[in-house]
């Protein structure tokens, strides 16, 4: 009698997600093994603290504090790197790939910082690298881009990739409360990290945008090559203006490829998105991604982007794909040939804009503002004046016609120097997708 092959799995980093993976594999094991025609062995896991209480029960000999010992364990074929960060995670990933093992990763920061090294190590040593969980955990977006939509060139990919920011923006929008108030509550509820800067300044979104851009276009774009702006300057008047004018404000990653000139741009910023777009209606901790292909047109994907269960669902999807390849052969299609597309300089990007200025409530101020924008060739499309929270001041909420990033930045810099302008102007893009 032929015995079923065995696939042995090690988990580096038995935190929230790691425990979810362990738990759900145990639950779904009979069906998964029947479909795979193989036994799944949860072999070992690494932790920081051996004594901490966990959701899942492991024998003492299955636990280690040394993740590298799992990465290099000859009995383990699939290594899940769920440690995070770019130091130990990088060591673990490279060590396993060098031994020709399969690595499953949820680590967008590692990919963004060391993607080319990870992929070339895998190629050189016959290792396999899977990373569905690194972007928008609950949404099988990487599989969609790499396989389902393989016939397409992607004109535009944009979406909400950070659940924490979307949760904060949704609550600001619904409850009319200020950013610091909601941030504090989000921290108390565990929806935001103690140090929230990675999320709210846009860096987590930028890491994910980098991974998606590589997948879709074969080009690694570092966060230094992107415009990256966060949500910390947004106020209620901005949200109200957006709503009243048919928009929602969302922190977007935007990856655009001009198929005619074959240049790429990647940016992360809060933008006014028409409420008619599905992405504008993605709320709370959900992520949403719109993918426009030259053949398929626009497709949209929505799901929870982080948290134990959605991320575990993605990691297990990768584990089963990997196990299936180990049992039945095959490899996934390589990503698009690394063409090293040229990047559009951020200054050359064109958009309509929204601008909020607090100004002294005096005669002649409007004329000064209008002069200043006109000089830079920026044309005002709409203007409303509202009472400001500051004394003897007014808020001016402007929208512009399309102009370049260089023009609008020059305008804002000049406006900020005007004595009648109080504080720093807020500039947002209007995403007329």
Binding residues vs a copy of itself (CB under 8 A) = 20, 24-25, 28, 31-32, 34-36, 132, 138-140, 143-144, 147-153, 278, 281-282, 293, 295-304, 309-310, 312-314, 316-317, 320-321, 324-325, 328-337
Give the DSSP letter of residue 53.
-
> How many angstroms separate the Cα of 346 from the Cα of each of 17, 255, 406?
36, 12, 8
Q: Please give the sequence-ordered ranges of beta strands (E in DSSP) within 149-262, or none if there are none.
A: 154-160, 227-228, 247-258
Nearer to a copy of itself, 115 or 137 (CB): 137
Under DSSP, the state recorded for 281 is G
The residue (of 270 and 310) whose beta carbon lies closer to a copy of itself is: 310
| Terminal Cα-to-Cα distance of the chain (whole angstroms) | 60
Q: How far is the CB of 202 from a copy of itself (least distance, A)?
A: 24
Q: How far is the CB of 29 from a copy of itself (least distance, A)?
A: 11
**Closest listed residue to residue 213, CA positions, set 301, 148, 286, 142:** 142
Q: Is 208 a catalytic residue?
A: yes
Q: How far is the CB of 386 from a copy of itself (least distance, A)?
A: 29
78 token code pair: 């699939």
Residues 94 and 87: their CA atoms lie apart, in Å, by 11
Burial of 172 (0-12, 13-18, 19+ CB in 10 A): buried
Q: Which is nearer to a copy of itself, 126 or 423 (CB)?
A: 126
Among residues 316 and 393, whose Cβ is nearest to a copy of itself?
316
The catalytically annotated residue of 208, 360, 375, 424 is: 208
Q: What does DSSP say about strands 350-360 and 421-430: parallel, antiparallel, or unpaired?
A: antiparallel
Tell me whether residue 323 or residue 378 sits nearer to a copy of itself (CB atom): 323
Cα torsion angle, 293, 282, 201, 132, sign: negative
**339 near 327, Cβ under 8 Å?**
no
Q: Residue 98: how many CB atoms within 10 A of its CB?
A: 16
The CB-of-44 to a copy of itself minimum distance in angstroms stands at: 21
What is the nearest approach in angstroms of a copy of itself to the Cβ of residue 95? 26
Please list the active-site residues: 208
């Amino acid at each position: 009698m032929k015995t079923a092959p065995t696939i042995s799995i090690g988990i580096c980093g038995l935190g929230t997600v790691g425990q979810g993976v362990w738990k759900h594999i145990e639950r779904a094991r009979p069906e998964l093994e029947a479909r795979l025609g193989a036994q799944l062995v949860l072999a070992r896991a690494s932790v920081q603290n051996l004594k901490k209480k966990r959701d899942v029960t492991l024998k003492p000999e299955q636990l280690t504090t040394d993740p590298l010992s799992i990465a290099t364990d000859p009995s383990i074929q699939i290594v899940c790197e769920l440690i995070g960060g770019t130091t130990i995670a990088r060591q673990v990933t490279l060590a396993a790939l060098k031994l020709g093992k399969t690595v499953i990763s949820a680590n967008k920061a590692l990919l963004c910082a060391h993607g080319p090294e990870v992929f070339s190590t895998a190629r050189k040593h016959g290792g396999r690298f899977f990373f569905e969980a690194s972007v928008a955990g609950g949404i099988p977006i990487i599989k969609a881009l790499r396989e389902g939509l393989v016939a397409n060139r992607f004109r535009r990919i944009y979406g909400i990739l950070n659940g924490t920011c979307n949760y904060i923006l949704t609550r600001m929008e619904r409850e009319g409360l200020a950013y610091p108030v909601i941030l504090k509550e989000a921290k108390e509820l565990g929806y935001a990290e103690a140090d929230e800067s990675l999320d709210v300044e846009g860096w987590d979104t930028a890491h994910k945008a980098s991974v998606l851009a590589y997948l879709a276009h074969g080009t690694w774009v570092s966060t230094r090559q992107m415009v990256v702006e966060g949500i910390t300057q947004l106020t209620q008047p901005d949200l109200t203006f957006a709503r009243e004018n048919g928009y929602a404000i969302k922190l977007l990653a935007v990856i655009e490829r001009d198929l005619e000139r074959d240049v790429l741009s990647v940016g992360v910023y809060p933008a006014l998105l028409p409420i008619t777009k599905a992405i504008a209606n993605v709320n709370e901790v959900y992520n949403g991604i719109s993918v426009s292909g030259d053949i398929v047109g626009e497709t949209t994907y929505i799901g929870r982007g982080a948290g134990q269960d959605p991320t575990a669902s993605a990691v297990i999807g990768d584990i089963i794909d990997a196990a299936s390849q180990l049992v039945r052969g095959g490899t996934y299609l390589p990503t698009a040939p690394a063409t090293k597309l040229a990047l559009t300089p951020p200054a050359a990007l064109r958009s309509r804009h929204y601008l909020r200025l607090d100004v002294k409530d005096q005669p002649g101020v409007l004329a000064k503002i209008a002069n200043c924008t006109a000089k830079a060739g920026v044309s005002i499309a709409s203007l409303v004046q509202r009472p400001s929270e500051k004394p003897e001041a007014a808020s001016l909420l402007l929208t512009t016609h399309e102009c370049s990033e260089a023009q609008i930045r020059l305008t804002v810099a000049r406006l900020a120097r005007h004595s009648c302008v109080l504080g720093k102007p807020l500039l947002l893009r209007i995403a007329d997708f």
